[in-house]
Amino acid sequence: MILGRIIGSVVSTIHHPVVEGRKLLVAERLDSTGRPTGGYIIAIDAIGAGQGETVLILDEGNGARQILDDTDAPVRSIVVGVVDAVDLETS
Amino acid sequence: MLLGRVIGTVVPALLVDELAGTPMLWIQPLDCEGQPEGDPLVCADGTRMAGPGQMIYWVASREAALTLDPSFVPIDDAIVGLVDEVRLYALEDST
Q: Residue A12: which CATH number?
A: 2.40.50.220
Instruction: Give the residue numbers spanning the domain of A14.
Output: 2-82
Instruction: Give the residue numbers spanning the domain of B50.
Output: 2-94
Q: In this complex, is the C-beta atom of B75 within 8 Å of any C-beta atom belonging to chain A?
A: no
Chain A residues close to B83, C-beta within 8 Å = 10-12
Q: Which residue has the higher pLDDT, A63 or B90?
A: A63
**CATH code (residue B56):** 2.40.50.220
Task: Yes or no: say if A72 and B73 are a contact pair by the CB < 8 Å rule.
Answer: no
- Counting the structural domains of chain B, the total is 1
| Residue A4 pLDDT exceeds 70 | yes
Domain contains A21: yes
* Nearest CB to B88 within list A14, A15, A26: A26
Question: pTM value?
Answer: 0.91
Q: In this complex, is the C-beta atom of B2 within 8 Å of any C-beta atom belonging to chain A?
A: yes
CA–CA distances in Å: residue B36 to residues A5, A11, B7, B65, B92: 22, 20, 11, 25, 21
- The secondary structure of residue A20, as a DSSP letter, is T
Contact between B81 and A12 using a beta-carbon 8 Å cutoff: yes
Q: Which residue has the higher pLDDT, A89 or A47?
A: A47
Find which of A12, A29, A58 to mutate to test the B interface (most B CBs within 10 Å of its CB). Answer: A12
Contact between B87 and A12 using a beta-carbon 8 Å cutoff: no
Per-residue pLDDT band at A90 (split at 50, 70, 90) = confident
- Counting the structural domains of chain A, the total is 1
Query: Residue B93's pLDDT is what?
Result: 58
Chain A residues close to B49, C-beta within 8 Å = 14
Domain contains A59: yes
Tell how strand A2-11 and strand B2-10 pair up: unpaired
Find which of A6, A7, A9, A16 to mutate to test the B interface (most B CBs within 10 Å of its CB). Answer: A16
Query: Residue B90's pLDDT is what?
Result: 75
Per-residue pLDDT band at B92 (split at 50, 70, 90) = low
Chain A residues close to B82, C-beta within 8 Å = 12-15
- Does the interface ipTM go beyond 0.85? yes
User: pLDDT tens-digit profile of B48-88?
Assistant: 999 999 999 999 999 999 999 888 899 999 999 999 999 99
Strand ranges (E), B11-84: 24-30, 41-45, 55-60, 77-82
Per-residue pLDDT band at B34 (split at 50, 70, 90) = very high
Q: Which residue has the higher pLDDT, A56 or A33?
A: A56
